[in-house]
Amino acid sequence: MLTDAPEVDARVTETPSAPASAPASAAAPAAARGAIELRGVTKRYGDECVVDRLALSIAPGEFFSLLGPSGSGKTTTLMMLAGFTPADAGEIRIDGQDVARIPPKRRGLGMVFQNYAVFPHMSVFDNIAFPLRARGLPRDRVRAEVERALALVQLERHADKFSRQLSGGQQQRVAIARAIVYSPPVVLMDEPLGALDKNLRYDMQAEIREIQRRLGMTVVYVTHDQEEALNMSDRIAILDRGRIAQLGQPVEVYERPSSGFVAQFLGEANLIEGRVTAREGERARFESASGLQVMVPAALEWTAGREALLFVRPEKLVLCHDDEALLHARVQRRSFLGGVLRCRLHCASRGGSGPELVVDVPNAAHALRPQVGEAVGVRWREADLSLLPASS
């Protein structure tokens, strides 16, 4: 959406609380600025409520990701934070200040978008210097700040090149340097690595994280790539149709999703329909429609008779020999994914035909690597199972 580079850069200016002549040094941490508070933030387009009473607190220096499928309201949320899209209801506060009446260019936020948005007719140096010159900084100060930013993104040797002489990853680093050169306390990033190939994306994830930590800035990061969000974030909000489906640290949302939607969005998930048939202390006995019976750690709300989804990640299931097996199955399909073999199993259960399970077998010397049609045992740690609300 932001192809017009000068327009983008006009948006990346002015920090309201800092006088134009004295921005913080690019190398200095942004102290404890950069707190963001959203209360009841809502946006409608026609009949569609695309952001629905969003409430969020983001701490200074936090790397916070908005993750969700296409159309879940991530970009709209970011655009309301930036000030390009007005909210229909609710309140957005940055460092305690209600920003409803503050135009984008005075919100003091750095921005990085997917399509680089660097000026093609300017050198790397001039691109990065642009926001500083726009504020009237003296020449020696501009040079010092740009050199510091160039070092941060490791482009010192490319300062005199034009963007067309740079690779995609290098162009994106220029965009990042330009967004951080005046040390904004908050940087908004919308799928900034979306156009890069996988290896480069992985390297850039580490670089962005490193820069963010070093400068102590708050980053609000939009992505639909769950691995990217898990790898980079302090916390993640998973959005579903404009609402937060779950908010938490990466390990928490991956290992303990609150719903089948979150479980499936964050990776491969076995979700088996059934019900609780009994309770024993801190555990519940779960029985699937196909007759599979297992014990699952479960809070007291999981009372006998309640419908549930049994959840377990494919990598938590282990293929084993018969004597260790908790369940017997046959391999129906096998997909070679490089690091893992993804096996689809048909399980036997007391009633005869049991549920299907996906098991990720590490492509490692010690692991059993079964053939299609082969009978296998499956085992797991009880702690890796959990119950989720039955889908409505």
Piece in contact with ligand ADP (CB under 6 A), picked from 13-21, 29-37, 74-82, 137-145: 74-82
- Residue (50 or 215) nearer to ligand ADP, CB: 50
- State which of residues 8, 36, 50, 186 lies at the interface with ligand ADP (CB under 6 A): 50
Is 78 or 317 the residue whose CB approaches ligand ADP more closely? Answer: 78
Concatenated DSSP letters for 209-230?
Answer: HHHHHHHT-EEEEEES-HHHHH
Which of 2-10, 73-81, 127-135, 359-367 is the region at the interface with ligand ADP (rule: CB under 6 A)? Answer: 73-81
Smallest separation, CB 70 to ligand ADP (Å): 4
Question: Cα–Cα distance between 144 and 165 in angstroms, integer?
Answer: 24
275 binds ligand ADP (CB under 6 A): no
The size of the interface with ligand ADP (CB under 6 A), counted in residues, is: 10
**Which one of residues 10, 37, 39, 71 is an interface residue with ligand ADP (CB under 6 A)?**
71
When the beta carbons of 243 and 369 are compared against ligand ADP, the nearer one is 243
Residue 188 Cβ vs ligand ADP, minimum distance, rounded to whole Å: 13
Report which DSSP code applies to 96: T
Determine if 75 is a binding residue for ligand ADP (CB under 6 A).
yes
Q: Is 73 in the site for ligand ADP (CB under 6 A)?
A: yes
- Coil vs helix vs strand at 73: coil
Q: In this chain, which of 74, 135, 178, 275 binds ligand ADP, going by CB under 6 A?
A: 74
**Complex with ligand ADP: residue 50 or 129, whichever CB lies closer:** 50
Residue 275 Cβ vs ligand ADP, minimum distance, rounded to whole Å: 34
Q: Which of 3, 70, 371, 392 binds ligand ADP (CB under 6 A)?
A: 70
Q: Are the beta carbons of 210 and 154 closer than 8 angstroms? A: no
Nearer to ligand ADP, 111 or 378 (CB): 111
E strand map for the chain: 36-45, 48-58, 63-67, 89-94, 97-98, 109-113, 186-190, 218-223, 235-240, 243-248, 270-280, 283-288, 293-297, 307-312, 318-320, 327-336, 340-349, 352-362, 375-379, 386-389
Two tokens at 52? 């629905």
| Helix/strand/coil for 72 | coil
Does position 29 interact with ligand ADP (CB under 6 A)? The reply is no
Q: Return the number of the residue (71 or 291) whose C-beta is nearest ligand ADP.
A: 71
Cβ 279 to ligand ADP shortest distance, Å: 40
Quick one: which of 60, 68, 248, 250 contacts ligand ADP (CB under 6 A)?
Answer: 68
Give the Cα separation of 137 and 162 in Å (integer).
Answer: 23
Sign of the alpha-carbon dihedral angle for 73, 77, 83, 88:
positive
Q: Strands of 235-269 (E only): list them.
A: 235-240, 243-248
Give every strand in the sheet of 243-248, ordered side by side.
109-113, 186-190, 218-223, 63-67, 235-240, 243-248
Q: Interface with ligand ADP includes 1 (CB under 6 A)? A: no
Contact 201, 227 (CB under 8 A): no
Contact status, residue 325 vs residue 377, Cβ threshold 8 Å? yes
Which C-beta is closer to ligand ADP: that of 75 or that of 171? 75
Contact in structure between 253 and 245 (CB atoms under 8 Å): no
33 or 43: whose CB is closer to ligand ADP?
43
DSSP-based three-state secondary structure for 86: coil
Closer to ligand ADP by CB, 72 or 183: give it. 72
Backbone angles phi, psi at 356, to 5 degrees: -90, 145
Q: Which one among 13, 15, 65, 72 touches ligand ADP, defined by CB under 6 A?
A: 72
Residues within the interface to ligand ADP (CB under 6 A)? 45, 50, 68, 70-76
